[in-house]
Amino acid sequence: MSHAGVRAIMERDAEWLEADGRGGFASGTVGGARTRRYHALLLAATRPPGGRVVLVNGLDVWMETPSGTYPLSTQLYLPDVVFPDGAAHLAGFARVPWPRWDFVLPDGTAIGQELFVARDTAETVLRWTCAAWTCAAWTGTAGLDKEGVGPWRLHVRPLLSGRDYHALHRENPVCALGSAVREGCVVWRPYAALPAIVAAGNGAYQPEPVWYRNFLYRAEQARGLDDVEDLASPGRFTFAPTDGMAVLILQAEGGQDAAGPAAAQEGAAERAEGLARAERARRAGAADPHGVAAASYVVGRGGGRTILAGFPWFTDWGRDSFVAMRGLLLATGRLEEADALLCLWAGLVDGGMLPNRFTDAGDVAEFNAVDASLWFVVAVGDFLDAAAAAGHAPRDAAVLAAAVEAILDGYLRGTRHGIGCDADGLVRAGVPGSQLTWMDARIGDRPVTPRIGKPVEIQALWINALFIAGRWSARWAPVERAARAAFAARFPDPASGGLFDVVDADHRPGATDGCVRPNQILAVGGLPCPVVEGDLARGVVALVERALLTPLGLRSLAPDDPQYRPHYRGDPAARDAAYHQGTVWPWLMGPFVEAWLRVRGAGPAARAEARARFLAPLQAHLETAGLGHVSEVADGDPPHVPGGCPFQAWSLGELIRIERMLAEARNP
């Protein structure tokens, strides 16, 4: 595929995100068509940040003018039919301060459509503006029963489901399509077990239940997943407001500051404007240029804070939270939230391990990562440094120190999955059938990259964790010295000039894995103290730059390796097979840039070169896939088409860290 062809697809299918801070969100495409099962206007977390359900998938919208009727929405149906094609009238799109579409109809009528999610109340607010409305004749009274008689009318049909956000919805007799008008709002409850949907607006509502069948989701089709859905529409709003603005506010019943009664009392337009003012102020007050995007990932859990790994399908993962928080929270000065996050996770240490994720069903903790706990220790160290520099008093430094000690003690004694400190001072990990590092893809019961033994980045994390704990306890210094000596003796790979990826591979003493992977970069950059320096560090950076560097991040495997997969695409098995076998990971650009500066020096010339070579492509990417965000992965081969989650926490976090380190005059 040509670069121009890829760019055209990105422009049409680029995605926007509006998160509610509780695990719910609204998302969609610039072109208006829903291409994923996750694209929705009201997607709520019933057990924040989990229990996500899709309530309002989208809208069917059309405009009546004196010259005819024209669609503003775009729908995609089987087998590959676009109808209607509202995007044909799309004249412009802006993502700041929130998504806005400008339409120009064939008769010259100009209509603006905007959408935002109010973070304080989890309401989705939609507003349409049209100058022609103020010229239309009008009769009737305020409220839902008013009837416009002017020639310009906007018609809006909500499209509902009521399903788990990973599932799909089909027409069925259980789905209730009735409408209830309550306190000036319309209420729908398709399924009794799920929250009702409350809609408030300044238009007239008419119950007209119908089913829309066979929507096609192209992105799901490309991922080899079920891709067809039916949606229910209980009725239609008609707007012809004299103030030139049509308003529709959507919320899941039971949400904080429920929209319904408030909107009815204030008037929907006034309610929407008040929410808009609050959101503008919040977004304008972000301390960092990426502050609004960064805040999307930070949510509450159990009275504390945590970080969602990515949108639209990830929840909070331990490893991702600790990597991402350094950019999303520490680099943006959000120390209170970082404090709350670390204190929350500190209480989850069990047997020296932290959970790496929570199951969707019941939020059960899963302890299946060797690196998540060590990344927590690194995050604690970075937080304490940032807090000291900012004069922030940690809410409970003793709790954080105790959690760090418990983790290191657990690794020293030995814990789950064969994780433990070996006689040489290095950490061994893994049992047959397990995949404990961040390279954790599996096909069925088979790990793709098990990396059993002593993986290189685990040793770098272990040594850094020992160094951090050594600040308050001298007992860790001898363990750190032993681990450093063993690393220096065992990991240099004379054949590549870099480092082995795993030593004592498969727990076979002396066996090594010499695959050229990006994990070795963490021995030079990305962590508080480098594990290797001098010529060996320069060799590692040179090898990674030569074999793995792309404009969007580092490949997970060198292209000359027989196992290399150039593209991340296809069904789940094909994607999992490529996930860590050549696929590019943007988050690794942070450790690489830090390592590159450490071996080159961080003078003005080096920083200018790094900004042009490494930072500029990532910044350009902000305007392509997930708008304002950085994707999870990209193809290993040019043109490095983005894939995976279009909104990934640690990818954005590391971009923020790169910008910060390149703006600083001091050596990193």
Q: Rounded to an integer, what distance in angstroms lies between the CA atom of residue 428 and that of residue 113?
A: 56
- Evaluate if residue 6 carries a pLDDT over 80: no
Q: Rounded to an integer, what distance in angstroms lies between the CA atom of residue 419 and that of residue 225?
A: 35
Domain extents in the chain = 3-284, 288-395, 422-543, 548-668
Query: What is the Cα 330 distance to its own chain's centre?
Result: 18
Q: Long-range CB contacts (< 8 A, 24+ apart) of 39-43?
A: 39/15, 39/217, 39/312, 40/165, 41/115, 41/124, 41/126, 41/250, 42/124, 42/197, 42/250, 42/251, 42/252, 43/165
CA atoms within 13 A on the CB side of 229: 32
Q: What is the DSSP secondary structure assignment for residue 453, as one 8-state letter?
A: B
Q: Which residues contact 52 (CB under 8 A, 6 or more apart)?
A: 23, 24, 43, 44, 45, 46, 164, 165
Strand partners, 228: 216
Average pLDDT over residues 397-424: 97
| Full strand arrangement of the beta sheet holding 512-513 | 454-455, 502-503, 512-513
pLDDT interval class at 10 (50, 70, 90): very low
Q: Rounded to an integer, what distance in angstroms lies between the CA atom of residue 427 and that of residue 436?
A: 12
Q: Count of CB atoms within 10 A of residue 87's CB?
A: 20
- Residue 140's pLDDT is 34
Q: Rounded to an integer, what distance in angstroms lies between the CA atom of residue 197 and that of residue 260?
A: 10
Among 460, 437, 434, CA closest to 579 = 437
Instruction: Give the pLDDT confidence of 609-658 residue by residue, as tens digits.
Output: 999 999 999 999 999 999 999 999 999 999 999 999 999 999 999 999 99
Between 9 and 517, where is the model more confident?
Answer: 517
In 210-240, which positions are buried (b, 16+ CB within 10 angstroms) versus exposed (e)?
Answer: eebeebbbbbbeebeeebbbbbbbbbbbbbb
Between 139 and 134, where is the model more confident?
Answer: 134
Residues 552, 640: contact at Cβ < 8 Å?
A: yes
Average pLDDT over residues 276-297: 93
Q: Rounded to an integer, what distance in angstroms lies between the CA atom of residue 502 and that of residue 72?
A: 55
For 529-606, list the strands marked E by DSSP: 549-550, 553-555, 584-585
- Evaluate if residue 298 carries a pLDDT over 50: yes
Average pLDDT over residues 208-216: 98
- Residue 287's pLDDT is 76
Residues 5, 22: contact at Cβ < 8 Å?
A: no
- Residue 289's pLDDT is 87
Average pLDDT over residues 185-203: 97
Please give the C-alpha separations between residue 54 and each of 569, 604, 627, in angstroms, as whole numbers: 26, 49, 22
Average pLDDT over residues 35-45: 98
- CATH code of 3-284, in short, is 2.70.98
Between 184 and 371, where is the model more confident?
Answer: 371
- Mean pLDDT, the chain, rounded, equals 92
Q: Rounded to an integer, what distance in angstroms lies between the CA atom of residue 40 and that of residue 287?
A: 29
Instruction: Give the pLDDT confidence of 315-370 residue by residue, as tens digits.
Output: 999 999 999 999 999 999 999 999 999 999 999 999 999 999 887 665 788 999 99
- Evaluate if residue 441 carries a pLDDT over 50: yes
- Evaluate if residue 667 carries a pLDDT over 70: no
Residues 247, 263: contact at Cβ < 8 Å?
A: no
Average pLDDT over residues 193-197: 97
Query: pLDDT over 70 for what percent of the chain?
Result: 93
pLDDT interval class at 39 (50, 70, 90): very high
Instruction: Give the pLDDT confidence of 564-585 residue by residue, as tens digits.
Output: 999 999 999 999 999 999 999 9
- Residue 280's pLDDT is 96
Q: Rounded to an integer, what distance in angstroms lies between the CA atom of residue 375 and that of residue 392?
A: 22
- Residue 11's pLDDT is 80
pLDDT interval class at 53 (50, 70, 90): very high
- Residue 322's pLDDT is 98
Instruction: Give the pLDDT confidence of 253-265 residue by residue, as tens digits.
Output: 985 444 454 555 4
- Residue 182's pLDDT is 85
Instruction: Give the pLDDT confidence of 450-470 residue by residue, as tens digits.
Output: 999 999 999 999 999 999 999
Instruction: Give the pLDDT confidence of 84-110 residue by residue, as tens digits.
Output: 999 999 999 999 999 999 999 999 999
Please give the C-alpha separations between residue 477 and each of 361, 409, 482, in angstroms, as whole numbers: 42, 14, 9
Q: Rounded to an integer, what distance in angstroms lies between the CA atom of residue 541 and that of residue 516?
A: 12
Average pLDDT over residues 200-208: 96
- Evaluate if residue 5 carries a pLDDT over 60: no
- Evaluate if residue 9 carries a pLDDT over 50: no
